[in-house]
Amino acid sequence: MTFYGGALASAVLALCLAPWAAIAGEIRVKDLVEFDGVRGNDLVGYGLVVGLNGTGDGIRNAPFTEEIMSNLLERLGVNVTGEEYRPKNVAAVFVTAALPPFARTGGRIDVTVSAIGDAKSLLGGTLVMTPLNGADGEIYAVAQGTIIAGGVSAEGDAAKVVQGVPTSGTIPAGARVEREVDFDFTQMSTIRLALRSPDFTTAERIEKAINREFGKRVALMEDSGTVAVDVGSAGQRSPAHLIGRIENLEVEPATKARVVVDQRSGTIVMGEDVRISRVAVAQGNLTLRVSEAPVVVQPNPFAEGETIVVPRTQADIQADPGKGLAEVADGTSLSEVVAGLNALGVAPNDMISILKSINAAGALHAEFLVN
């Protein structure tokens, strides 16, 4: 039996020392912001999947399945009140979808179907007509169709194999839009651009790019995450024409220096603006080994006595000599920072500990995020 302290190098899957948000050239405005009023809406519904090959809900464990099935049959004119039925080819499901912006009545959208009972698989099932409600409780779409499941399950008396997630699937274009969102985009007098990663420098650059495009002051940075554009001052026929003109403008975004660490996989990702002040680091590993070698002792032939097991344990502690204090010089670029850390010659998990200590010492000049 062996215990390891310090680095668990054998359990580390990957070490990635690469720019976290390296910017190569300029980025389109449409890839940096969300436009005010141009947004989707989440929909959800509760329905029934039929046609399963004995992989549906167990009615005793999922009574809601029996209830929705009874309601559905009664709406179709079949009276099942007081009847006992235990079908295994039906399953209760949640149906979710996203209503895209400016979706019109009669349009089609994709839906996701997920089992909520103890169904084993939705493979080959058909979703029965299911209303999809918005946050306001109104019905905006109706879903129905054959489910495409992303997994498969097979089992016997002594073994079971599951690949993927057979209890969840999709129906491409499986819902028809029945109601439009009551929103008149043409009446907006000001379009606000919401930055996905708020930053004052990036917002100012977007403001300048828009004003330069129109040759006058039509955009104003309100804060680090918002740039407002006046539709009237821009002289465009509609807000849609305004967005079509500014969304392809290119801007070089500014990003914060970040170090992102995932302790579970031993992954380290650094932004290109990360800097480290001159610092000295010492690191070593401690290994504790405990081994058991029991010895069986038997009495002499024809002698009285019994066989016993005598335990024998050997324990030792070994400390790696390490490299003593190693100096990490000032890093003026990402490559120099990486070269300085790699010079320590440690495993990824130890590198994470070293970065934590450097950050605690105030020598790491970046936002340190641990997942």
361 φψ region: left (φ > 0), alpha (ψ -120 to 50), beta (else): alpha
- Residue 202 has a pLDDT of 93
How does pLDDT run across 244-282, given as a tens digit for each residue? 999 999 999 888 888 888 877 778 888 878 888 887 777
Assign 49 to helix, strand or coil.
strand
- Residue 205 has a pLDDT of 94
- Residue 77 has a pLDDT of 75
- Residue 16 has a pLDDT of 39
- Residue 114 has a pLDDT of 92
Segments making up each domain of the chain, as ranges: 2-21+258-370, 41-177, 184-251
Query: Cα(17)–Cα(336) distance, rounded to whole angstroms?
Result: 12
Closest CA to 285 of 354, 195, 355: 354
Other Cβ atoms less than 10 A from the Cβ of 206: the count is 24
How does pLDDT run across 142-164, given as a tens digit for each residue? 999 999 987 666 666 666 676 67
The overall pTM is greater than 0.85? no
Residue pair 365/333 in contact by the 8 Å Cβ criterion: no
Q: For residue 110, report the phi and psi dihedrals to the nearest 5 degrees.
A: -80, 150
- Residue 6 has a pLDDT of 38
Residue pair 49/113 in contact by the 8 Å Cβ criterion: yes
- Residue 152 has a pLDDT of 64
- Residue 32 has a pLDDT of 92
Query: Cα(223)–Cα(157) distance, rounded to whole angstroms?
Result: 64
DSSP per residue, 323-350: --EEEE---SSHHHHHHHHHTT---HHH
pLDDT, averaged per 10 consecutive residues of the chain (371 residues), comes to 36 36 69 89 92 79 71 74 70 92 92 89 90 93 90 65 80 93 86 92 94 93 93 88 92 86 82 81 65 78 78 70 63 72 73 82 84 78
Q: Which amino acid is at 259?
A: V
- Residue 24 has a pLDDT of 46
324 φψ region: left (φ > 0), alpha (ψ -120 to 50), beta (else): left
- Residue 11 has a pLDDT of 33
Residue pair 175/97 in contact by the 8 Å Cβ criterion: yes
- Residue 350 has a pLDDT of 77
352 φψ region: left (φ > 0), alpha (ψ -120 to 50), beta (else): alpha
